[in-house]
A = this chain, B = another copy of it.
Amino acid sequence: MSSFVRVLYEFAGEAGSTEISISVGEILTVTRTDVGEGWWEGKNSRGEIGLFPAAYVEVMSAADVKQQQQRTTVEAQTAPNRYDQTADEYNDGDEWEDDWDEDNDTYSEIVPHNPSNNQVNSALHSTNDYDNKYLPTIPGDDTSQSLVLNANNNPTTLKKSSMFGKSSDSFILGMGNKDRIPDNELVLIVPLDNLYQWQPSHQHYTVVVASPKKESKFKGMKTFIAYQLTPSFNNISVSRRYKHFDWLHERLVEKFCLIPIPPLPDKQISGRYEEQFVEHRRVQLQEFVDWVCRHPVLSKCEVWYHFLTCTDEKIWKSGKRKAERDTYVGITYCWAISPPEKQLLQSYVDTQMDSCSQFIHAMDTAIRNLLSISNDVVKRYQTQIKKEYQRIGEGLSDLSRALLIDEKRAPSRNGNALSENVARIGDIFSGIGVQFGEQPKLDWIPFSDRLHIYRGILNSFPDILTTHKGAMQKKKDCERLAAEQKMSNTQLAEVNRRVDIVSYAIIAEITHFRFERETHLKQTLKLLIEEQIKFYSSIVSRLEDAYKEIE
């Protein structure tokens, strides 16, 4: 299935390059959307093929496409492979359920897991027919555009897709139709003192990520870890695997190009089922879930609710496909944002963005540094200090054995031999060594885990700020067009309003980030210091035991 676009702005392709020149109103057949960097490949009516800026064109509706197809049957038939590929992408359920792909380990475990479900699941997945039943019917007008956009959304091309999605031009220029936005997507930005913030959610809730369990199916031939998620609003547990989180994360990144999505724990190939790793991952997933729950926009979005609550395999799959076909993704989502009416001053926006950029850079450096320090401290505790205290312990044991030789030579009247005291003190020091080795699990590793979130959040901001810069540039371009009478003042006012929406959204997001870290960073430091206090107190208490040996 080919897609067609209508050219909105002129673009002169560079001679001798792979670029193609396009004129306003011209209709192109899209031959590739996975070029990257905001470029698509297309063919014009003269059969010339070349690259053009995707932001300079408008995807045509299904009706237009049909009409066009009648006119351009020949062209449409020149890309039969492309058509097949697109059809395959509809059928991505097949890939999703391919249990035998090790790297893409994708068994779906949606219902709250208990061992008796294994058989049911095995039965459900024994043939591909199951999925075929849920293959979508070809959608009507409303979704044809999103189909094309989403044709590119399989995981291997996600990066390019999201780069495209973050180009703000399409929205700034008023592409898409805000009238169609469903009410549940709408979000408000409201003033707060000197700041603007997302309208706070009235439905606060939490979700506990618990009990990671090693489960198996196909009589143990395949094992996986499932985490139990229990939202506070319904208290119904759902069972989710890392791959489900990964899928959710992709959806969120795709949908919210102005909101940093907290990172998932890093993927790890080897030793996936080691107890320590699993618990570590659980903690990081809990962090991810907490962050989303506390976000006024993310916490109420549909795909998230679906992820948190769905316990039915069929509903899961249809919800999954619905999310994957969501139209309000990337910059298009901005249509859903209602900021205050007040027009933002250019100088205010510039100052805010400059300051934000500086702050993000400085905080990113600081967090990286703290993570590196934490990493070093962990290693030092687990190896060097552990060994050093054990070496002290062994040194004292050696001394004790030496003393014993002399005590055996001529036993002393009082049985309270120094060798025994020294041996016990040695044991206590060795014990302190062991405790040093274990301690990072309680203080510095959780500290790192909690900072991991910041790395992800801070990493997202530069792209967001770049998107904003793009919007500002487009605004200037339009001002020039308006000055040249190529754009009406009304149109320019609308452009400015839409640029303001981007600015407002980013300011609201920075505000949220501040609120968030006021709590989260304090809590992070609190946990670290609390555990360190406990740790050093317990060393004091061990040393007091040692002291009693020689009092």
Give chain B residues whose Cβ lies under 8 Å from the Cβ of A356.
Answer: 406, 409
Q: Is the CB of A543 within 8 A of B517?
A: no
Given contacts A398-B366, A525-B425, contact A514 B406 (CB under 8 A): yes
Give chain B residues whose Cβ lies under 8 Å from the Cβ of A408.
Answer: 355
Q: Distance (Å) between the CB of A423 and the closest chain B CB?
A: 12
Chain B CB within 8 A of A421 CB: yes
Option from B370, B384, B514, B543 in Cβ contact (under 8 Å) with A399: B370
Bound CA–CA A93/B221 (angstroms): 95
Interface size class, chain A: 35 or more
Bound CA–CA A550/B527 (angstroms): 10
Q: Is the CB of B373 within 8 A of A388?
A: yes
Q: Is the CB of B367 within 8 A of A410?
A: no
Q: Is the CB of B529 within 8 A of A425?
A: yes
Give chain B residues whose Cβ lies under 8 Å from the Cβ of A370.
Answer: 392, 395-396, 399
Q: Distance (Å) between the CB of A469 and the closest chain B CB?
A: 18
Q: Mark A407-428, 1 if CB is under 8 A from B, else 0.
A: 0111111000010011001000
Stretch of A180-188, A288-296, A530-538 with 4 or more beta carbons under 8 angstroms from chain B: A530-538
Option from B362, B388, B537 in Cβ contact (under 8 Å) with A402: B362
**Nearest residue, chain B, Cβ from A428:** B529
Bound CA–CA A395/B528 (angstroms): 14
Bound CA–CA A401/B392 (angstroms): 40
Chain B CB within 8 A of A249 CB: no
Give chain B residues whose Cβ lies under 8 Å from the Cβ of A359.
Answer: 402-403, 405-406, 409
Q: Distance (Å) between the CB of A431 and the closest chain B CB?
A: 14
Chain B CB within 8 A of A518 CB: yes
Task: Report copies per complex.
Answer: 2
Bound CA–CA A315/B406 (angstroms): 44
Give chain B residues whose Cβ lies under 8 Å from the Cβ of A537.
Answer: 540
Chain B CB within 8 A of A235 CB: no
Q: Mark A479-517, 1 if CB is under 8 A from B, else 0.
A: 000000000000000000000000000000011001001
Bound CA–CA A511/B532 (angstroms): 46
Bound CA–CA A11/B180 (angstroms): 122
Q: Is the CB of B405 within 8 A of A362?
A: yes
Bound CA–CA A358/B422 (angstroms): 19
Chain B CB within 8 A of A522 CB: yes
Bound CA–CA A388/B483 (angstroms): 60
Q: Is the CB of A536 within 8 A of B540?
A: yes
Give chain B residues whose Cβ lies under 8 Å from the Cβ of A405.
Answer: 355, 358-359, 362
Q: Is the CB of A418 within 8 A of B522?
A: yes
Give chain B residues whose Cβ lies under 8 Å from the Cβ of A111.
Answer: none
Of residues 193 to 248 in A, which have CB atoms within 8 Å of B's CB atoms?
193-195
Q: Is the CB of B365 within 8 A of A402?
A: yes
Q: Distance (Å) between the CB of A10 and the closest chain B CB?
A: 39
**Nearest residue, chain B, Cβ from A377:** B388
**Can you pick out 30 interface pairs between chain A and chain B where the beta carbons lie within 8 Å of each other?**
A193-B410, A193-B413, A195-B410, A351-B409, A352-B409, A352-B410, A355-B405, A355-B409, A356-B406, A356-B409, A359-B409, A362-B401, A362-B402, A365-B402, A366-B398, A369-B398, A370-B396, A373-B388, A373-B395, A376-B388, A377-B388, A406-B510, A412-B514, A425-B525, A525-B546, A526-B547, A526-B550, A529-B547, A536-B536, A540-B540
Question: Residues of A with Cβ closer than 8 Å to B?
Answer: 193-195, 351-352, 355-356, 358-359, 362-363, 365-367, 369-370, 373, 376-377, 380, 384, 388, 391-392, 395-396, 398-399, 401-403, 405-406, 408-413, 418, 421-422, 425, 510-511, 514, 517-518, 521-522, 525-526, 529-530, 532-533, 536-537, 539-540, 543-544, 546-547, 550-551
